[in-house]
Copies of this chain bind each other. A is one copy, B any other.
Amino acid sequence: MDLNGVEIEDTFAEAFDIYVSKFLITAATQKFAKIAADETVGFGSSVIMCPAEAGIDRYVPPNESPDGRPGYVVMICHPKKDELEHQLLERIGQCVLTSATTAVFDDMGSEADEKLKIGYKLKFFGDGFEKEDQVAGRTVYKIPIMSGDFIIEGELGIKKGVAGGNFFVMAENQASALLGAEVAVDAIENVPGTITPFPGGIVASGSKIGSKYKFMSASTNEKFCPTLRGEEGVTCEIPDGINGIYEIVIDGVSEKALEEAMKAGISAAVKIPGVKKIYAGNYGGTLGAYQIWLTKLF
């Protein structure tokens, strides 16, 4: 298939079940909300070695937030529910509660499969001086801190979502592949319920499972490394004329959200001169519950 002159490979992204939380961090200013959100989702690119996969879903303007202040919705994801709960307690406790002027509200709403008592548990930081209150019809806790009060909703919803949506931007050089990946991330930013957890939304070092070294569970995907083309022992699978590849990885609240994000991202990437092909990563369908076929997106 061809989109704007760019070949869309007839393959699929293989995606996995994951538990997803989605909540809103507000602050006095957009700047302080962004500072808190960035700290909260940091060190959160992949659960291969990070304690969670995390990212910013979207900006919420003051007139759309429960407390009339600007904020960012963040998503934190983990394959195990109890680990996700740990991560919520640690990341909100250390990165939001400690941030200037912040508050936390649920953003999963009626989509939630389950509610975790995150605010309820964090309130004990108040050492007995915390108080229950209401903001816009939501039950919150007011925890007195040195700069004023920290407000957090008692329960935050989680649901089963989907991780590992992905596509590769292949281009005639590294700069084109990178610009193609950047515009894809800009486009995906606008798809609700999805994040691109890697740094800047982009993966520079897509990997394969396993390695010749037994102690490594994942290693470089040498078949797709441009600098290994022609190297002995490498079966290069990079088409001729491709010299740069970046991958976009997406986590979402649902398969449908992933599909929308992949479609928006690919549609943007193919507009960049030098982008030649869109590809996707999978394990032959043996590992993940979901197969998102690139050509069916369009």
Instruction: List the interface of chain A (C-beta within 8 A of B).
Output: 28-32, 35-36, 38-46, 48-51, 61-63, 68-70, 89-91, 93-102, 124-129, 143-150, 168, 171-183, 186-187, 189-190, 198-200, 202-207, 211-213, 215-216, 218-222, 224-228, 231, 234, 243-247, 264, 267-268, 271-274
Tell me the smallest distance from the CB of A8 to a CB of chain B, in Å.
17
Question: Smallest Cβ distance from A82 to chain B, in angstroms?
Answer: 16
The reply to whether B204 and A99 form a contact with Cβ atoms under 8 Å apart is yes
Q: Are A38 and B40 in contact (CB under 8 A)?
A: no
Report yes or no: A200 in contact with B100, Cβ–Cβ below 8 A. yes
Q: Among B127, B225, B268, point to the contact of A144 (Cβ < 8 A).
A: B225
With the chains together, A126 CA to B212 CA distance in Å? 10
Q: A225's closest neighbor in chain B, by CB?
A: B144
Please give me the residue from chain B that is nearest to A170 by CB atom. Answer: B146
16 contacts between A and B (CB under 8 A): A28-B271, A29-B179, A29-B186, A42-B42, A43-B43, A43-B51, A46-B94, A124-B211, A125-B218, A128-B212, A129-B234, A146-B224, A147-B245, A148-B244, A150-B205, A175-B179
Cross-chain contact of A268 among B50, B68, B89, B176 (Cβ < 8 A): B68
Is the pair A264, B63 in contact by a Cβ cutoff of 8 Å? yes
- Residues of B within 8 Å of A177, CB to CB, are 147
CB–CB A227/B148 < 8 A: yes
Which residues of B lie under 8 Å from residue A203 when comparing CB positions?
98, 146
Contact B70 A186 (CB under 8 A): yes
Q: How far is the CA of A181 from the CA of B100 in the complex (A)?
A: 10
Are A173 and B273 closer than 8 Å at their CB atoms? yes
List the B side residues contacting A128 at CB < 8 Å. Answer: 212-213
User: Closest 5 CB pairs between A and B?
Assistant: A42-B42, A173-B274, A145-B205, A127-B219, A61-B190
Which B-chain residue is minimally distant from A260 (CB atoms)?
B63
Q: Which residue of B lies closest to A243 (CB)?
A: B273
Are A147's CB and B179's CB within 8 A?
Answer: no
Decide if A204 touches B145 in the complex (CB within 8 Å).
Answer: yes
In contact, A146 and B246 (Cβ under 8 angstroms): yes
Within 8 Å CB of A231, what residues of B? 129
User: In the assembled complex, which residues on chain B have CB atoms less than 8 Å from the CB atom of A150?
Assistant: 204-205
Which residue of chain B lies nearest to A171 when distances are taken between CB atoms in the complex? B175
Q: Which residues of B contact A61 (CB under 8 A)?
A: 187, 189-190
